[in-house]
Amino acid sequence: MQIKIKRVYEAPSKEDGKRILVDRLWPRGISKESSKIDLWLKEVSPSNELRKWYGHDPDHWAEFKKRYWAELKSNPEGLGKLKTSLDEKVITFLYSSKNLEYNNAIALKEFLSK
């Protein structure tokens, strides 16, 4: 299985495979019809408290991942839904952050690879 990362505002493509939104909040300005999102897994997104604390500050990246991964490990129901959804050869995690290097989709993919 291949996991890709893509900003939800980028145009959908056939190469995306199964498109999974991994943000807690629905992205602004995106309609559910045009987004071509197959699944919204807000259960595996960072908590509101962690999301607000992080604020996409690269200086907080290492600590953000540590806290986010701890949240994931303590969320067997959410992880179960995620693992069940990984049933295609290609999966694309979608996120809305403007930060292309430090976002929860990247942290989630890294978590799954460990």
Between strands 18-21 and 2-7, the pairing is unpaired
Give CA–CA dist 25/58, Å, rounded.
21
pLDDT in tens, the chain (114 residues): 899 999 999 999 999 999 999 999 999 999 888 889 999 999 999 999 999 999 989 999 999 999 999 999 999 999 999 999 998 999 999 999 999 999 999 999 999 998
Q: pTM of the prediction?
A: 0.93
Give CA–CA dist 104/87, Å, rounded.
21
Give CA–CA dist 97/81, Å, rounded.
23
Are 19 and 37 spatial neighbours (Cβ–Cβ below 8 Å)?
Answer: yes
Domain ranges of the chain: 2-113
